[in-house]
Amino acid sequence: MTGAQILDDPTTLGEARIVSQTTGWQELSASLSKSLSKLDTFEVAGKITRVAGLVIEAAGLHMPIGSLCYIRLEDDKMLEAEVVGFENGNLLLMPYGGTEGVGPASKILSRKHNSKSGQPPPGQLPVGACLLGRVLDASAQPLDDKGPLNATEFASMHAQPINPLNRTPIDTILDVGVRAINGLLTVGRGQRMGVFAGSGVGKSVLLGMMARYTDAEIIVVGLIGERGREVKEFIEEILGPETLLKTAVIAAPADAPALMRLQGARYACTIAEYFRDQGKHVLLIMDSLTRYAMAQREIALAIGEPPATKGYPPSVFAKLPVLVERAGNGEPGGGSITGFYTVLTEGDDQQDPIADSARAILDGHIVLDRALAESGHYPAIDIEQSISRVMYAIVTADHQRDARRLKQLTSRYNRNVDLINVGAYSAGSDPVLDEAIRKRQIVESFLQQDRTERSDVPTSIQGLAALFSDADTSTTAGR
């Protein structure tokens, strides 16, 4: 029925008059709305004016940044895209897939939400217990062979931040099952830690150990920008089938479009937030924060943002804290998200701009050293350069003293290792160095751990205390 037919229909007008006379204007409005809903709808479409690299320029639509739309390809398939900017009144779009099939005749359609379709509103993806044990891509499509999700709950990718004054303080230790971390870099529930490493130094193995041995109730893993082979290996060999049962894995590999890599990181955070709001203690592993930054760099440079330090535009450094701040403790009575974010250091350069920015916004960092890895020392944690900023608020005074003392011995030995190796050091000239030399083997044994071994917090603390249970406890006092 057209609009003219409705207005000319005496039955419709008669019913409207009766309603107006008996029940007033409110019911008249409802009656007319029902009639107007029968009107034929029309499609508002834009057109493509230019495609340059990753960016599609479109005219004829007015949509805000972050809006989603569809590009109708020549074979009538739909390609989803996001508004990332404007230029001369036109929209700048980036697709969630390749641009193959996009042509001058392709139409741009606004993505509208139909509540009767059963699909989530734009910008929302599935959450809930149905994600545990599953491997999904950044758009919540299953990558495993376990069938559809059948999700009933959905959440926005852009959650509102928690008021910092309403967050629960970090006051409880999170057991990660790694002796060097539990003993010397103790992590609290709700803490955000960086894992700084170059390639091939055991980063994935360390993350797998933490995932398998942690006492967190839920694990969320975001594999962002990783090689496809590494995604499969991490899930099957490093994570393992038993740990996977309480884990949700979001994978956006290196060949995924930049928007998908960004969305994969946000989706992992959204899932973690859902379980935190359910009162669960969540371990969030993001591998890697650097490749998230690289994806944002691709987008920013493509839409014309000027490059800054090492080619990273300013928007990259603005988005990093937004992502990281989504982790942490919730409000009183809620759960927590403890985040581990890997940061790739190019050529083991700890002053890389992303590494430098991440160090400033995280609550601590674990540095993996290539020289230690090459010597067979695993996990290859550089104790001198690593720190947990909340450790001293959650451990006992005795634990603090022992951890500080072991760091002193390690530092003193490393500074004098050349003198020791050539026999130029005379025993007795430095009591602290004497103790460091004497205890070198047991300290090394404490810091190393096989990937199949779990060392809980009490065992780690006892092992640390045992290093200094002999009579020469005064040698480092006051130094």
Nearest Cα residue to 345 out of 297, 268, 293, 407 = 293
pLDDT at 285 over 50: yes
**pLDDT for position 396:** 96
3-state secondary structure of 29: helix
**For the segment 3-16, what is each residue's pLDDT rounded down to a tens digit?**
445 445 555 555 55
Bond preceding residue 379 cis, omega within 30 of 0: yes
Distance between CA atoms of 298 and 464, rounded to whole angstroms? Answer: 46
pLDDT at site 178: 96
Please report the pLDDT score of residue 97 as a whole number.
84
User: Which of the two residues, 345 and 27, has the higher pLDDT score?
Assistant: 345
pLDDT for the residue 14: 56
Could you state, in order of their start, the residue ranges of all structural domains in the chain?
3-36, 45-112, 124-394, 397-466
User: What pLDDT, on the 0 to 100 scale, is given for residue 15?
Assistant: 55
Report the relative pairing of strands 247-252 and 218-224 from DSSP bridges: parallel
% of the chain surpassing 70 pLDDT: 87
Q: Is the pLDDT of residue 419 over 60?
A: yes
Q: How far is CA 378 from CA 200, 240, 267, 285, in A?
A: 12, 20, 32, 20
Instruction: Return the higher-pLDDT residue of 475 and 317.
Output: 317
Looking at residue 471, its pLDDT comes to: 46
- Report, as an integer, the average pLDDT of 91-103: 86
User: Can you tell me the mean pLDDT for 204-217?
Assistant: 94
The mean-pLDDT minimum among 20-29, 56-65, 113-122, 312-321 falls in 113-122
Give the C-alpha separation, 436 to 428, whole Å.
12
- What is the pLDDT at residue 18? 52
- The single residue listed with the structure tokens 């230019």 is 50
* pLDDT for 411 beyond 90: yes
The pLDDT of residue 391: 95
Q: Are 380 and 369 in contact (CB under 8 A)?
A: yes
Check residue 406 and give its pLDDT. Answer: 96
pLDDT at 114: 47
The region of weakest confidence among 100-114, 119-133, 277-291 is 100-114
Whether the predicted pLDDT of 476 surpasses 90: no
Give residue 110's pLDDT band: very low, low, confident or very high (50, 70, 90): confident
Find out if CATH 3.40.1190.20 is the number for domain 45-112.
no
pLDDT of residue 116: 46
The pLDDT-based confidence of 356 (bands split at 50, 70, 90) is very high
Average pLDDT over residues 271-285: 96
Computed over every residue of the chain, the mean pLDDT equals: 86
Looking at domain 397-466, which of 3.40.50.2000, 1.20.1270.330, 3.40.50.10440, 3.30.870.10 is its CATH number? Answer: 1.20.1270.330
478: pLDDT strictly greater than 50: no
pLDDT classification of 410: cutoffs 50, 70, 90: very high
Which of the four pLDDT bands, split at 50, 70 and 90, describes residue 477? very low
Alpha-carbon distance 32 to 331, whole Å?
46
CB 51 within 8 A of CB 99: yes
Q: Is 233 or 461 the better-scoring residue by pLDDT?
A: 461
pLDDT, one tens digit per residue, over 144-194 is 888 888 888 999 888 888 888 999 999 999 999 999 999 999 999 999 999
Domain 124-394 coded CATH 3.40.50.2300: no
Whether 307 has a pLDDT exceeding 70, the answer reads yes
